[in-house]
Amino acid sequence: TGKHTTGGSGFIAAHVLDILVKHGHSVTTTVRSEAKAEHIRKAYPDVKIDFKIVEDIAVEGAFDEAVKIEGLEAVIHTASPFHFNVTDTKKDLLDPAIIGTTGVLKAIKKNAPTVKRVVITSSFASIVSAGLGNAPDHTYSEKDWNPVTFEEAEQNPSFGYRASKTFAEKAAWKFLEDEKPNFTIATMCPPLVFGPVIHSTSLSSLNTSNQRVRDFITGQYKNEIPDTGTFIWVDVRDLALCHVKAIEVDAAANKRFFITAGYYSNKELGQIIAKNFPEYKDQLPGADVKGGDYPEGGIYKYDNSRTKEVLGIEFMPLEKSITDLVKSLKNLS
């Protein structure tokens, strides 16, 4: 049975690949370059993983050839820019997110008629509403959509990123409605993702969501802990399992999944690192250092029941996720 994943060299995709292999699926993944393929090959010396080079998902038709795989049954689309290093919001964030998503769907409809399920990595960014603020009275669930506009997307890279995920996921649901393809879809909406890094080779090129933990252990937050921003999280291994379950479980068809393990604050991250890694004492903020708390007025609630019920996921605790992440960072330079 053929499974296909996009952007195999990314933080989340590397774990998706890992679980696909462990579940015995045969896997083809796209990567941007031969060098990235070689990196993955080395990690799986005993497993046959096939590669297709897709240099830029923002190019129309980029996936047309990559999906031509005999017996292909499912596709997991994770590739999309997640960084705030942006000069042109449309070119750097919106185009790769939106054209990337619609491009995969169009290519499958055109060239891969055996595909039954497509899983798309969306985000809590497509659920959360900036206008609601910390929203202590609101419970976020799959019913919520970020009301962000194209104009707001241009205001700053953070809005730009959130808009890119919102518009891309909306485009996927619209494709389903307009094109009525032979396949069903499922979208994954995680908030901040932590957990061990198996794709990265250096601390300086670390993926965005793990950077705050790196910044703790390299002493950046010694005198002040920054605001937390998003107060909910999930471990990358749980999230990767959700992606794979979403191709394996019939009932996941045409559903959106809000995937969170619960709350965290930056202050708690610092405390977990201090408790488990005394060797970082000099780099970490002392108990009297300010910042990184939960908002005084409270914080939004979340409803993750669909993910637990339909995908059968039990979420791992924050302390395990963060300690495994820190251990993995010790292997990088």
The token pair that represents 249 in the structure block: 């479980």
Minimal distance, residue 170 CB to ligand NDP, in Å: 14
The verdict on 32 binding ligand NDP (CB under 6 A) reads yes
CA 84 – CA 164 distance, rounded (Å):
12
The verdict on 96 binding ligand NDP (CB under 6 A) reads yes
The token pair that represents 259 in the structure block: 């995937």
Minimal distance, residue 54 CB to ligand NDP, in Å: 6
Residue 64 CB: number of other CB atoms within 10 A? 16
Minimal distance, residue 209 CB to ligand NDP, in Å: 3
The closest of 279, 281, 270 to 322, measured between CA atoms, is: 270
The verdict on 101 binding ligand NDP (CB under 6 A) reads no
Q: Which residues have a Cβ under 8 Å from the Cβ of 39 and sit 6 or more positions away?
A: 9, 199, 201
Residues 106-125 that bind ligand NDP (CB under 6 A): 121, 123
Residue choice 119, 127, 163, 193 for contact with ligand NDP (CB under 6 A): 193
DSSP one-letter string for 221-285: TSS-PPP-SS-EEEEHHHHHHHHHHHHH-GGGTTEEEE---EE--HHHHHHHHHHH-GGGTTTSP
Piece of 2-10, 148-156, 303-311, 321-329 that binds ligand NDP (CB under 6 A): 2-10
Piece of 50-58, 174-182, 218-226, 312-320 that binds ligand NDP (CB under 6 A): 50-58
* Nearest residue (CB) to ligand NDP, 297 versus 306: 306
Q: Cβ distance 58 to 96 under 8 Å? A: yes
* Nearest residue (CB) to ligand NDP, 24 versus 173: 173
Residue choice 2, 3, 10, 37 for contact with ligand NDP (CB under 6 A): 10
315 DSSP assignment? P
Q: How many residues bind ligand NDP (CB under 6 A)?
A: 24
The verdict on 81 binding ligand NDP (CB under 6 A) reads yes
The verdict on 58 binding ligand NDP (CB under 6 A) reads yes
* Nearest residue (CB) to ligand NDP, 192 versus 225: 192
Cα angle 312, 313, 316 (rounded to 5 degrees) comes to 160
The verdict on 213 binding ligand NDP (CB under 6 A) reads no
Report the SS3 class of residue 178: helix
Please name the residue that has the structure tokens 């252990």: 217
Residue choice 38, 56, 60, 65 for contact with ligand NDP (CB under 6 A): 56
Rule CB under 6 A: which residues touch ligand NDP?
7, 9-13, 32, 56-58, 78-82, 96, 121, 123, 165, 190, 192-193, 207, 209
